[in-house]
Structure 1
């Protein structure tokens, strides 16, 4: 496992699917110049997803081979699909860019990273109420069956909120990103200027 240096930080965005954690993470990462470590999954890509950008999509045999080789730091199973983060990807990102990186994970993955790296991990919980989540999933083109499957994890994911270092209700994206980047800057100690 990669040994984090004193000032290296991992920001983990978590929360229920449909609450906007990916959008918030990408906008905050872009604003603060923090790069993402992409997860691997055996789930087939959705219509708008790009391999290497949203996930690294592997078939089950490829995933199993990487698992047998000990390449994964953590593995989570959701609805019969496997998800994982590779040790080497975290190490490479820190070599390319000193300081910080971020990941987008469910509560199990977030807890696994916290257990592995302790105070170097800051969990950011992004949430919205169930009805708004359902509407966003619907507006994104998810089928009723897929929305029901996503919402079946809602309560379990929401229960993790109290364990996270920060929680933001994502009603207005711009406000969420603004408040979040201010919070993250305190860890980065770069003192972003307050702009009106």
Structure 2
């Protein structure tokens, strides 16, 4: 496991599927000059997803081999697909940036918090159930997948009490603005507020 150096921080974006955590994380990360550690998964890519940008899409055999080689620091199963984070990826991203971010479900977030303690900042992004369903429909998710994700909604929402910061993502620009200001308190980048 990678040992964090002084001032290195890990920001973990979590929350229900469809809440916009990926978009919010990417926009905030870009503004603050942070690098993303991308997870590996055995699920097939959606039409809008790109290998190496959204996930590293690998076969179940490749995943099992990497797991056997003890390459993952965290592994979870969602909807019968495996997801994992490689320790080597965390280390290489820290070489490029003093702080990194990941987009994970609650189980991945909990694992990183256990591994790295208070150097992990958990950020919970959510929206109401109807908004999530609308966003999933707009992104072309099939009805059975939407129903499955919505069945986890209450359970996922309960995790917000475990997180350091909670943002309801109703208006993307406002969410990103507020979040970036909050993260800057950790990073001391001294962003200028032009309001």
TM exceeds 0.5? yes
Cα RMSD, aligned residues only: 0.7
SS of 1:91's equivalent?
A: helix
Which stretches of structure 1, 4 residues or more, deviate above 6 A after TM superposition? none
1:90-140 CA-to-partner distances (Å, cap 9, x unmatched) read: 00111122x100000000000000000001100000000101100111111
**Could you tell me which residue of structure 2 aligns to residue 51 of structure 1?**
51
SS of 1:159's equivalent?
A: helix
**Counterpart Cα distance in 1 of 2:144 and 2:74:** 28
SS of 1:192's equivalent?
A: coil
- Provide the TM-score with structure 2 as the length reference: 0.98
- Aligned runs of 1:78-89 on 2, under 5 Å? 78-89=78-89
Are the equivalent residues in 1 in contact too, given 2:39–2:84 (CA < 8 A)? yes
1:53-77 CA-to-partner distances (Å, cap 9, x unmatched) read: 0000111000000000000000001
Alpha-carbon offset, residue 32 of structure 1 = 0.8
Structure 1 stretches of 5 or more lacking a match? none
**Counterpart Cα distance in 2 of 1:142 and 1:71:** 31
**Counterpart Cα distance in 1 of 2:10 and 2:179:** 15
**Could you tell me which residue of structure 1 aligns to residue 17 of structure 2?**
17
SS of 2:101's equivalent?
A: strand
SS of 1:171's equivalent?
A: coil
**Counterpart Cα distance in 2 of 1:181 and 1:81:** 32
1:121-170 CA-to-partner distances (Å, cap 9, x unmatched) read: 00000000101100111111111112111112211211100000000000
Structure 2 stretches of 5 or more lacking a match? none
**Could you tell me which residue of structure 1 aligns to residue 117 of structure 2?**
118
**Mapped pair 1:152 → 2:151:** yes
**Could you tell me which residue of structure 2 aligns to residue 33 of structure 1?**
33
- Provide the TM-score with structure 1 as the length reference: 0.98
**Counterpart Cα distance in 2 of 1:31 and 1:179:** 12
Alpha-carbon offset, residue 176 of structure 1 = 0.2
**Counterpart Cα distance in 1 of 2:70 and 2:13:** 24
**Counterpart Cα distance in 1 of 2:101 and 2:123:** 10
SS of 2:2's equivalent?
A: coil
**Could you tell me which residue of structure 1 aligns to residue 96 of structure 2?**
96
